[in-house]
């Protein structure tokens, strides 16, 4: 009979940040080192798994083309089963788990099944990806606030929050919106924002980052011409004019198009 006490089943929901592994938090490093098992998503940089102690299982549960995707109810069950078997489960999620990341949803399920839970924030791509190409979500004289919305509901439909955002003149950051780009442009145009400055940032904060800018009405054409793909964020508002070229990141700005071209 073992003299060791049984593992305490618990869950830590941990934000992996926007992509650049150097933007991961010190607390996140410690938590990964304490994990008995790690469940990680596709948007979490794999370099972070180097902080996991040797021997701790690492299970990919994200969505990636060509690989099996887990449904949310399967992930919830896996969290509970893994915690009961191993002890401390760390759920590593891209960005911040509480910004359209289902982090609290997973914690509530775990709590209902007797697990202790904790949350460690991560830097959200909603702010960091924009900032990485010189776009602040607020800027004196241009934007006194910002809103972050998801483009797609749980059923795959366009979120009503997009139409609400189009009525505002504050900065709008849209996550998971590339597949709905045509409808987004249509709605913002219906609300008089076809000429509003906008930008799309793909793989923000990473060396492979790419950027297109232009008025809202031109976004689909420019994104298609540049081959922009997911993961990407859409930024709509006057602050998009502030995107600046950085000689240290030429890949980011190779697709930068000036507003003058369509003025």
CATH number at residue 50: 3.40.1010.10
Residuewise pLDDT in 10s, the chain (263 residues): 456 677 789 999 999 999 999 999 999 999 999 999 999 999 999 999 999 999 999 999 987 655 667 899 999 999 999 999 999 999 999 999 999 999 999 999 999 999 999 999 999 999 999 999 999 999 998 888 999 999 988 777 889 999 999 999 899 999 999 999 999 999 999 999 999 999 999 999 999 999 999 999 999 999 999 999 999 999 999 999 999 754 334 344 444 444 434 33
Residue 5 lies in a domain: no
Residue that is last in its domain, among 85, 120, 155: 120
Do 111 and 164 share a domain, yes or no? no
**Predicted TM-score of the model (pTM):** 0.88
Are residues 256 and 131 part of one domain?
yes
Domain end position, chosen among 120, 155, 189: 120
Q: How far apart are CA 16 and CA 97, in angstroms?
A: 8
45 and 76 together in one domain: yes
Q: Does one domain contain both 107 and 219?
A: no
Q: Is position 174 within any domain?
A: yes
Domain finish residue from 57, 92, 120: 120
Look at residue 135 in the predicted model and tell me its pLDDT: 96
Distance CA 124, CA 96 (A): 5
Q: What residue numbers bound the domain in which 52 lies? A: 10-120
pLDDT score, position 66: 53
Residues designated as active site: 41, 63, 176
How many domains does the structure of the chain reveal? 2
Q: Is residue 53 part of a domain?
A: yes
Supply 215's token pair: 């008025």
The pLDDT of residue 4: 66
């Amino acid at each position: 009979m073992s003299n060791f006490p049984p593992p305490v089943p618990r869950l830590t929901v941990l934000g992996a940040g926007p992509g650049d592994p150097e933007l991961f938090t010190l607390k996140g490093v410690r938590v990964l080192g304490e994990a008995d098992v790690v469940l990680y998503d596709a948007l979490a940089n794999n370099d972070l798994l180097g902080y996991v102690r040797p021997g701790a299982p690492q299970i990919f549960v994200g969505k990636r083309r060509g690989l099996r995707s887990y449904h949310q109810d399967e992930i919830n069950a896996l969290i509970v089963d893994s915690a009961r078997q191993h002890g401390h489960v760390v759920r590593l999620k891209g960005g911040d788990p509480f910004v359209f990341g289902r982090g609290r949803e997973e914690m509530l399920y775990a709590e209902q099944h007797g697990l202790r839970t904790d949350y460690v924030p991560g830097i959200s791509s909603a702010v960091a990806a924009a900032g990485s190409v010189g776009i602040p979500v607020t800027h004196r004289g241009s934007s006194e606030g910002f809103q972050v919305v998801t483009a797609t509901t749980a059923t795959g439909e366009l979120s009503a929050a997009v139409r609400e955002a189009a009525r505002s003149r504050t900065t709008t950051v849209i996550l998971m919106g590339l597949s709905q780009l045509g409808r987004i442009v249509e709605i913002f145009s219906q609300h008089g924002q076809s000429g509003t400055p906008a930008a799309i940032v793909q793989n923000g904060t990473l060396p492979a980052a790419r950027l297109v800018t232009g008025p809202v009405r031109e976004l689909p054409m420019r994104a298609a011409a540049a081959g922009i793909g997911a993961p990407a964020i859409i930024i709509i508002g006057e602050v998009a004019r502030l995107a600046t070229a950085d000689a240290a990141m030429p890949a980011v700005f190779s697709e930068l198009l000036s507003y003058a071209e369509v003025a």
